[in-house]
Amino acid sequence: MSNTRWVVRFTAALAIACVAAQAASPCRAATRQKRYYAHETVEDRHGVIAPWYHGSDGLAAFRVRIAAETLKRYPWIGPPQAAAHVPEYLLSSFWSITPDGNIATRPLDDWMNGDRGQLAGYVLRVMNDYYRYSGDPAAKAHLAMQADLVVDLTQTPADYPWPKFCISVPVKGKPYGQCDPTGFIQLDIVGRVGYGLVLAYESIGERRWLDTARHWGDVLAARCDRTPGAVPWGRYANPEQVPWGKNNQLTGGVVWIAKFLDELIRTGHEGQHGEIVAARDAARAYIRDTLLPAWLAHDTWGRQYWDWEQPTQSMNVSPSVAEYLMDYPEFFSNWRNDARNILSTAINRACVSPASNGEVYSGAWAYPESCGCCGRCLSAGPWLLSPTWARLGVQAESPWAAELARRQLILCLYDLLPHGAAEDNIDGGVITNGSWFESTHLLPLETTLAVMGYQPQWFAPPRENHMVRSASSVRRIVYAKGRIEYDAFDSPAGGIDVFRLAFDPQAITADGVALPRRGDPAANGFTARPLACGDWIVSIRHDGARSVAIEGNDPQQWLAADQFACEGSWETAGTCRETPQPGAAAIVRFHGNQVRLIGRVGASGGLAEVWIDGVKQRAPVDFWIPTSHAPLAGQTLFAASGLAQGEHELRLVARGCRNPRSAGDTVWLEGVQCSSATGVVDFGEGHGPTEAQRWIFGYPKRDDYNDAAGNRWKPGCEFVVRSGDGTDSVAAAWHTTAVRDPIEGTPDAELYRYGIHGRELIAQATVAPGTYTVRLHFAASRGVDTRRNSVSVQINGQEAVGRMDVAARAGGPNRALALEFAGVVPREGIIEVRLSGNSDDKLPVPHRKDGQAVAAEAAPADAFIQAMEVLPQKPQ
């Protein structure tokens, strides 16, 4: 046979067969269920997951609002049970919630107290993000309380071998109180807490938080092994206290230490003689030179969760490393491929368990948090990975990555019930969310805001004003009518702030200097991209300036405090009305579909209730903010969106009481913003990648392969093999060692030197609507007896090839065979290729069991494949 690729074509036959069979047996490319999590399934015109919620604010904004309200109405705890008065979720993620929305806490034991560091890291990060988006000062208050708890309760004694250092996993000691240093001091979690503590300082300015974080950084730097090729730190400062501490191996979690040290450097702290910088550089080099070359090892991106050894790829470490590669593309020059590969293998590995059955549902990938955890809780993995997919979509200009993020987030958002419960069993009901508060609300809040930052056109609420992404911590933001003002901690070169606005900005200034409207962010200035609904996506670059103001013709209306009808005793202080009196009420009627209550907060602020159209809202309004932060005016204290268009009434009622930390009961009212502006919620229907997708299965290299025609092939990871609960899909199914025998019949032998195998292999390609050609590449190598073991292929649920003897079809072993199927139409947003292995009953295999001869029977057979292409067809 000549040295040309042998392609067997099945032009349009598969599409025709599928259409003919639809009436009796619909051709589905993925699983579709009637219900996902807490809601009945809604799909778009293409069979892809669509939002279940139809409010005018959109599903993502609804999720953010309910999560924030749940945080703000959480029960408080205080002495003698706890060392400080705080909302209990700041000290324990052990919770429950009743069907009517009442939150109950569960008894916290020493072991569950070990979550303190991970929990604090979440709170310190997400409150920064939520304040930027909402202007809600409750975020500042909770941020400050958590930072104080970290500094006051989680440090070792001064005479400890790691002095005044974070006890990140305090599994010993009194819950809610001072942490015991004989708990676990897990260093990657120290990095997460330390990073959050620096963010808290940047946001509020409390110096002791920064001083504490700087000391932790100095301790880490002093104990860093900077020998080239060495692991910079162990996983634990005290491995002798950890049941599995003999294997004190730190792998991908080192990224959190590197990120922490980077943030310290950002504040101007480089350590004595530059030791912080040197330690950070050692961590980066370890990632680049040691971990990335070992990207396929199961624990390279694992060993992180605090409650087990976890020598498996983690849905937590994987996106964090990918994010870090994108943070520093000049250092990690292969960041596009490496980030993609790490995220893709995480999905491949997470889907091995038949108990979880992770795969594509209504076009969206759904998978558990690891290869051996949590059954049908299939939202944990996408909650963790989707923000990084979204960022990769923007930074690498990849419609494929962007579409993975969009669909995964929409499916995750099916979890929420309006009273604050969230169902994480994809079939309905709760698994981990029945006890872990951080997975119920903190992680979803962080994820939704992060994806919104990279996909504001689909997820930020229409006809409102929100900062969805920022290059720095935001110290103050005021969302006024037609004018948004904010102060940033700093303004790094090249940093971009992103807004979705209900108006086209007419003027933007930075430190009082007008910024020009530009076509791109190559220099200081702003870009404004219109959306069909009347909104604008605005990106602002303001290197060297910290105070920014945006002005324009905002469709919002402003009703000042003097336009409220008041009951009880209210005093006027400038443009503000205030009262400490129990039951004092302020009432205003407004027209529209959204409303925001604007007021002041201070150290003597009290509590109030809000009623909308006679319905008491679940979360109280707290006018308190810690003394560590100056009083703030113009803050968004309450917001309700997605209201029915029309007349409404808002009633604010002072309770005449306070939280246990406040010095007074005062309520300060400035006014409300409301709007009647409407716009269709665009959730991205019909989007997806239209470019060619080419995979080499089992391919272990980080760089893509360029074939003889100049086409790029990536490692094929978007497939499922049910190798068993807790198993490693790479070890079980990937042929990562190249076949050395010559492969005939192709100019691209590299396509056929690797491959995957398994009783059933399910490859699921995410695509846009259209018509595609699918090519499947096989070679009967590795000594497989293809007379006995044949391969059957289904595409989109229809048989394409039955019981194929690859060697016979190709003309012999080690010969390339490419099967081509044209006219393939996606089903539910994907093209699914399902391969199954068959044993030939005519060639039985006798064998022995327990030393005894057993009658001949068909042997189990594996399917196999080497490569796959999904190619868009041009319209005729």
Instruction: Return the HEC string of 11-60.
Output: CCHHHHHHHHHCCCCCCCCCECCCEECCEECCECCCCCECCCCCCCCCHH
β-bridge partners, 95: 105
CA distance 197 to 203: 10
CA distance 573 to 826: 63
Within 8 A by CB and 6+ apart from 262, the residues are: 280, 327
* Structure token pair of residue 309: 């050894």
What was the pLDDT predicted at 603?
95
Q: What is the mean pLDDT of residues 81-104?
A: 94
* Structure token pair of residue 393: 């979509």
Neighbours of 681 (CB within 10 A): 21
* Cα angle 204-162-231, degrees, rounded to a multiple of 5: 95
Using one digit for the tens of pLDDT, what is the confidence trace for 384-427? 999 999 999 999 999 999 999 999 999 999 999 999 999 999 99
* Structure token pair of residue 291: 């971990």
**pTM for the whole structure:** 0.95
What is the three-class DSSP state of 762? strand
Mean of the per-residue pLDDT values for the chain? 93
* Structure token pair of residue 644: 């029915």
What was the pLDDT predicted at 557?
97
Using one digit for the tens of pLDDT, what is the confidence trace for 373-384? 889 999 999 999
Using one digit for the tens of pLDDT, what is the confidence trace for 781-830? 988 887 778 999 999 999 999 999 999 999 999 999 999 999 999 999 99
- Among residues 476, 423, 452, the alpha carbon closest in space to that of 99 is found at 423
Q: What is the mean pLDDT of residues 675-683?
A: 94
What was the pLDDT predicted at 786?
78
What was the pLDDT predicted at 494?
96
**Tokens 């979204």 label which residue?**
390
Percent pLDDT > 90 in the chain is 89
Q: What is the mean pLDDT of residues 125-146?
A: 97
Contact predicate 863/688, CB 8 Å: no
**Tokens 């009901």 label which residue?**
429
Look at residue 20 and tell me whether its pLDDT is greater than 70: no
Look at residue 251 and tell me whether its pLDDT is greater than 70: yes
Amino acid letter at 810?
Answer: A
CA distance 571 to 654: 13
Contact predicate 344/331, CB 8 Å: no
CA distance 68 to 442: 9
Percent pLDDT > 70 in the chain is 94
What was the pLDDT predicted at 432?
93
Look at residue 4 and tell me whether its pLDDT is greater than 80: no
* Structure token pair of residue 784: 């497989």
Q: What is the mean pLDDT of residues 40-53?
A: 98
Q: What share of the chain is helix, strand, coil (3-state, %, to 5)?
A: 25, 30, 45
What was the pLDDT predicted at 874?
84
Choose the weakest-confidence range: 91-105, 489-503, 526-540, 741-755. Answer: 91-105
Amino acid letter at 35?
Answer: R
- Comparison of pLDDT for 119 and 789, the residue scoring more: 119
CA distance 398 to 691: 10
* Structure token pair of residue 474: 């935001």
* Structure token pair of residue 44: 């778009």
Amino acid letter at 125?
Answer: R
Q: What is the mean pLDDT of residues 696-719?
A: 97
**Tokens 């596009």 label which residue?**
336
What was the pLDDT predicted at 783?
85
CA distance 484 to 556: 12
pLDDT range class, residue 840, cuts 50, 70, 90: low
pLDDT range class, residue 17, cuts 50, 70, 90: very low
